[in-house]
């Protein structure tokens, strides 16, 4: 569906300031929403917020539906009487500009354990009722997730396909035995999800009061070692005997990698999904629309055709394109849920068939300004080629920051860019690129906060095809200055993107 002319900021919640070493759903999240409202923005885009494992990637989560416990605010738990200020004594000295995930986990998880124990002994009847209601309404995914996490922890984090065969294949007697054995741990994981979604719901309601819509990111694929694959192996390309991934997801060589990107996620068994009327996907979209206002589908092209790489390959070079039932899928989703507020991440190898699928349902695609320079006037990422029904970004979480990108251009490329922009100095180049995005005809413009702050490559969020050192950037509480706020608001109003 086309969206009205508007703009917003891309920022993952882990990037908020916090005395607990990682951004959370506490006071700084509310202050950020105030900043969006005060600068006439209408959107806050986040990355996936599921519980992460090795590498801390939000695109490789233990669940497609659960929330990351590390985003729970201990201070809000304190407000609810589940923690006290005494519990926060002797917090370590966390890095101010980065998330040290190891130190955060070591510090924060014991606090969440303590809050859970206090909930068991101190919860009011109203809190108990709310918890029971949450567990009942989310049982279709929460029961499997909590059991999956509890068993996984008992197996020291080993992937589910290496568990005892009766557990890996979910034999009812084995599952019941482990439910009883790990009842306390299962309760704990349900409690964490209850608190995460309670805090998120309050924050989302606050955003709605400020007329801020939240754009959530739904990765097309889920991790192999996830509750969904363990609970529903029949809808994924999984070897029935070993539980290994039979066909891995990825993309062929592209802008980011000469050997392609081999993600390792299992691709879908689309025939089985279609036989079941895409039930699993319908539930996923329903849950997502309860959580956010707009959905950005990551790797949208995979709904038309997907790159499949056989087990045993170490790069994505030797894969093949297989067709997916994209038209039937989105027609069914539309019949079930109505016209969906969807944005399509249509970057990479895009064919006319992918464009036809996108346009058939009027999903806006993405335009990245960083990709528009370095070639000629025929480059489709230059703004004068844009249709109105698209979303323009300076860059995404996978790109360098605008300042970092500019600094790595050749002298001739910089000169050409500045000539296009009509500027005589590279000082404030990030504002020139932001102006280009906001002034374009694209209905939506989204700016990573790093670009708004004019930060260099040190603030980059992700280096695709690398497994470590990503997703760690944080900003400091004092950087959202009145000068930045005023400049962004004026520019947003000037180019007709402010709320009417």
The 8-class DSSP code of residue 498 comes to: S
Query: Could you give the CA distance from residue 157 to residue 151 in angstroms, rounded to a whole number?
Result: 9
- Does the annotation mark 398 as catalytic? yes
CA atoms within 13 A on the CB side of 174: 11
Catalytic residue among 24, 28, 345, 432: 345
Catalytic residue among 87, 185, 398, 456: 398
Report helix, strand or coil for 394: coil
Strands 319-323 and 305-310: antiparallel
Radius of gyration (Cα) for the chain, nearest Å? 23
Catalytic residue among 117, 293, 298, 355: 298
Report helix, strand or coil for 270: helix
Q: Are 65 and 229 in contact (CB under 8 A)?
A: no
Burial of 74 (0-12, 13-18, 19+ CB in 10 A): buried
Burial 336-374 (b: 16+ CB within 10 A, else e): eeeebbbbbbbbbebeeebeebbeebebbbbbbbbbbbe
Q: How many residues does the chain have?
A: 500
Which positions ≥6 away from 338 have C-beta within 8 Å? none
- Does the annotation mark 478 as catalytic? no
Q: Sign of dihedral through CA atoms 6, 7, 13, 18? A: negative
Q: Which of 412, 415, 443, 448 is nearest to 430 (CA)?
A: 448
The residues assigned a catalytic role are: 298, 345, 398
């Amino acid at each position: 569906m086309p969206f009205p002319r508007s703009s917003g900021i891309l920022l993952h919640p882990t990037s908020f300031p916090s005395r607990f070493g990682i951004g959370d759903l506490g006071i700084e999240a509310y202050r950020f929403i105030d900043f969006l409202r005060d600068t006439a923005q209408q959107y806050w885009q986040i990355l996936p917020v599921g519980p992460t494992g090795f590498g801390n990637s939000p695109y490789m989560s233990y669940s497609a539906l659960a929330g990351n416990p590390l985003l729970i605010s201990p201070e809000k738990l304190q407000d609810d009487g589940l923690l006290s200020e005494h519990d926060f004594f002797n917090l370590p000295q966390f890095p101010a500009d980065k998330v040290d995930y190891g130190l955060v986990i070591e510090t924060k998880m014991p606090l969440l354990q303590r809050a859970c124990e206090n909930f068991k002994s101190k919860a009011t009847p109203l809190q108990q009722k709310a918890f029971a209601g949450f567990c009942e309404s989310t049982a279709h995914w929460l029961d499997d997730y909590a059991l999956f996490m509890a068993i996984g922890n008992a197996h020291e984090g080993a992937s589910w396909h290496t568990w005892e065969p009766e557990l890996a294949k979910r034999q009812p007697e084995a599952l019941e035995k482990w439910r009883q054995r790990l009842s306390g741990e299962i309760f704990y994981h349900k409690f964490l999800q209850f608190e995460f979604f309670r805090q998120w719901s309050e924050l989302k309601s606050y955003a709605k009061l400020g007329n801020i819509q939240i754009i959530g990111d739904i990765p097309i694929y889920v991790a192999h070692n996830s509750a969904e694959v363990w609970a529903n192996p029949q809808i994924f390309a999984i070897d029935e005997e070993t539980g290994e991934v039979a066909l891995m997801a990825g993309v062929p060589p592209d802008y980011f990698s000469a050997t392609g990107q081999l993600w390792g996620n299992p691709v879908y068994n689309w025939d089985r999904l279609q036989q079941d009327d895409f039930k699993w996907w319908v539930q996923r979209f329903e849950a997502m629309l309860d959580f956010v206002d707009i959905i950005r589908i990551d790797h949208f092209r995979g709904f038309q055709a997907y790159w499949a790489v056989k087990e045993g390959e170490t790069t994505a070079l030797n894969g093949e394109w297989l067709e997916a039932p994209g038209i039937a899928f989105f027609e069914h989703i539309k019949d079930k849920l109505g016209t969906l507020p969807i944005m399509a991440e249509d970057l990479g190898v895009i064919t006319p068939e992918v464009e036809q699928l996108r346009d058939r349902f009027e999903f806006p695609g993405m335009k990245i300004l960083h990709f528009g320079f370095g070639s000629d006037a025929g480059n489709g990422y230059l703004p004068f080629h844009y249709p109105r029904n698209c979303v323009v970004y300076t860059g995404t979480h996978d790109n360098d920051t605008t300042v970092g990108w500019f600094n790595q251009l050749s002298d001739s490329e910089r000169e050409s860019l500045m000539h296009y922009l009509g500027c005589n100095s590279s000082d404030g180049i990030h504002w020139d690129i932001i102006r280009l995005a906001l002034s374009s005809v694209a209905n939506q413009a989204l700016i990573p906060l790093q670009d708004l702050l004019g930060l260099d490559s040190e603030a980059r969020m992700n280096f695709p095809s690398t497994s470590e050192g990503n997703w760690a950037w944080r900003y400091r509480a004092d950087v959202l200055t009145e000068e930045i706020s005023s400049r962004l608001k004026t520019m947003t109003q000037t180019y007709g993107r402010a709320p009417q």
